[in-house]
C-alpha cells in the first residue's frame, strides 16, 4: 500500500506587522522557502509534480495564483505546476492534506505543500473590501449574527466561563514557552533566514500580567479578549514536501514523519472557533488512537479561548499543548500558519522522540482541519 511521508519542512522566521519581513514581496518569501526546502531535503525540483499553496487574502501582491509565481521565482523548472487555495487560517494545513491525498491516490509521487501571508502588505480582510461576503440566503439563515472571530472568541470565553485572568495567564505562558524555545535554539533547524531576519520577531520577553491586564477589550465593552490574548498579525511562509516511503528511498530522501490521519470538520459559523474540538474527535476516531497516545498537541492560538476550550472539552494534558509557544507569541501569518505549525511540531517530535503528534486549527466560517502524524 502507498503511504504519505513528509521528507522536508522549513519556514521563514515569523515577522511582526511592518517588521523585518514587511519589505519582502510575498512571492519572494514563498520562493525562499521553496529553495530552502529543496536544498535541505535533497529533493530535485524537476521531480515535483505539483505545489499546493495556501494564501487567505488573494488580492494585490498575493493574487494571480501566488503559488505558481513562487515556483517560478524560486528558479524551479517551468514544468512544475502550482495552485493556490483558501481554507482561511487552515489554508496551508489543507494544502498538506491535498498533497497527502494526491500521493496516496497515486496521482503523483512528490508534491510540495505550504503557504504564505504578508499581512503587512496585504492587510487582513483586503479580499472582502467593498463587497458583501454574505449574500441574502446566509443572512436569512443567521439573521443579524456577526461573523467576526474576535466576537466568537468572546462568545467562547463566556460559554466556557474563562476569566480575563485566565486568558492573560495563558498568553503569558505562550510568550514564556516561545522565548525559552528560542533561547535554546529549538527553532534553528526549521527556520530559513530572510536577509538579516533570522529569528521570530513576535516574542515579547518583557510582557507581564500587569501589562496584559492594562490592554483594552476591542470586541466587547465588558469583554475579556484583548490584543494580548490574540494571535499577532504577521508575515511569513512555510513549506513541506510529501512523497511515499518507497519513492523517498529510491531517491535518497529521508522521511521525517508519516501522515497518519487527515480530517476536516465544521461547526457553528457564528461562534466560529470551536471546530477544533469535533475535528480532534474525528481524527482520533479515524486513526484508532486515543488522546493519551498523542505526545504533542498543536492547537493554533488564534485567541486564547480556543486552546483553553479545546483543553476543557478533550481533557488533554496541558503540558503537551504548544510546547514551543503558539501564535500569541510567534504570530499568525494566515496562509502560512498551518505549514508553520506542522514544521515546528515535526522538529519538536524528532528532537524529543515523540511518536505521535496532532495539529488542529480553527478557521473562518466555523471549520477546522486536524492532522495526526507519526514519527519515522
The burial class, CB within 10 Å (0-12 / 13-18 / 19+), for 40 is middle
Could you give the CA distance from residue 273 to residue 361 in angstroms, rounded to a whole number?
9
Secondary structure, 3-state, 192-249: CCECCECCCCCCCCCCCHHHHHCCCCCCCCCCCCCHHHECCCEEEEEEEEEECHHHHH
Helices (H), the chain: 26-41, 66-73, 91-105, 135-142, 149-160, 164-183, 209-213, 245-250, 276-287, 305-314, 327-330, 334-352
The DSSP code for 14 is P
Closest of 79, 85, 81 to residue 62, by C-alpha: 85
Pairing of strands 234-243, 296-299: unpaired
Query: 328 with 229: CB under 8 angstroms?
Result: yes
Q: Residue 170 has which C-alpha cell? A: 495563558
- Rounded to the nearest 10 degrees, what angle do helices 305-314 and 149-160 cross at? 40
| β-pair partners for 134 | none
Length of the chain: 376
Could you give the CA distance from residue 161 to residue 223 in angstroms, rounded to a whole number?
12
Residues annotated as part of the active site? 89, 332, 362
Closest of 152, 90, 57, 118 to residue 299, by C-alpha: 90
Query: 167 with 223: CB under 8 angstroms?
Result: no
The DSSP code for 191 is B
- For residue 292, the tally of other CB atoms under 10 A from its CB is 10
Which helix (H) or strand (E) element contains residue 112?
A: strand 110-118
Q: HSE on the CB side for 125, CA within 13 Å?
A: 8
Amino acid at each position: 500500500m502507498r503511504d504519505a511521508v513528509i521528507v522536508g519542512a522549513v519556514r521563514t522566521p515569523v515577522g511582526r506587522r511592518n517588521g523585518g519581513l514587511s519589505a519582502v514581496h510575498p512571492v519572494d518569501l514563498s520562493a525562499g522557502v521553496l529553495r530552502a526546502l529543496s536544498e535541505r531535503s535533497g529533493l530535485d525540483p524537476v521531480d515535483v509534480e505539483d505545489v499546493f499553496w495556501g494564501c487567505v487574502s488573494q488580492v494585490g501582491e498575493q493574487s494571480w495564483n501566488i503559488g505558481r509565481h513562487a515556483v517560478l521565482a524560486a528558479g524551479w523548472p517551468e514544468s512544475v505546476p502550482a495552485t493556490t487555495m483558501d481554507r482561511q487560517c487552515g489554508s496551508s494545513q489543507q494544502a498538506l492534506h491535498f498533497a497527502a491525498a494526491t500521493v496516496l491516490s497515486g496521482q503523483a509521487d512528490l508534491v510540495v505543500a505550504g503557504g504564505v501571508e504578508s499581512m503587512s502588505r496585504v492587510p487582513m480582510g483586503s479580499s472582502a473590501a467593498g463587497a458583501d461576503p454574505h449574500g441574502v440566503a446566509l443572512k436569512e439563515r443567521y439573521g443579524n449574527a456577526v461573523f467576526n472571530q474576535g466576537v466568537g472568541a468572546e462568545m467562547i470565553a463566556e460559554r466556557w466561563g474563562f476569566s480575563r485572568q485566565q486568558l492573560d495567564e495563558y498568553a503569558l505562558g505562550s510568550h514564556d514557552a516561545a522565548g525559552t524555545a528560542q533561547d535554546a535554539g529549538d527553532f534553528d533547524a526549521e527556520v530559513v533566514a530572510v536577509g538579516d531576519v533570522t529569528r521570530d520577531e513576535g516574542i515579547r520577553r518583557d510582557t507581564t500580567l500587569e501589562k496584559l491586564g492594562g490592554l483594552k477589550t476591542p470586541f466587547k465593552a465588558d469583554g475579556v479578549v484583548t490584543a494580548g490574548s490574540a494571535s499577532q498579525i504577521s508575515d511569513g511562509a512555510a513549506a513541506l514536501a510529501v512523497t511515499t516511503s518507497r519513492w523517498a528511498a529510491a531517491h535518497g530522501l529521508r522521511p521525517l514523519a508519516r501522515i497518519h490521519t487527515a480530517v476536516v470538520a465544521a461547526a457553528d459559523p457564528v461562534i466560529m472557533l470551536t471546530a477544533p474540538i469535533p475535528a480532534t474527535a474525528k481524527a482520533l476516531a479515524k486513526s484508532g488512537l486515543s488522546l493519551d497516545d498523542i505526545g504533542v498537541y498543536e492547537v493554533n492560538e488564534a485567541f486564547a479561548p480556543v486552546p483553553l476550550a479545546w483543553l476543557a472539552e478533550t481533557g488533554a494534558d496541558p503540558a503537551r499543548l504548544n510546547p514551543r509557544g503558539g501564535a500569541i507569541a510567534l504570530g499568525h501569518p494566515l496562509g502560512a500558519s498551518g505549514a508553520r505549525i506542522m514544521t515546528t511540531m515535526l522538529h519538536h517530535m524528532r528532537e524529543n522522540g515523540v511518536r505521535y503528534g496532532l495539529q488542529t486549527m480553527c478557521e473562518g466560517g466555523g471549520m477546522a482541519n486536524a492532522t495526526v502524524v507519526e514519527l519515522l
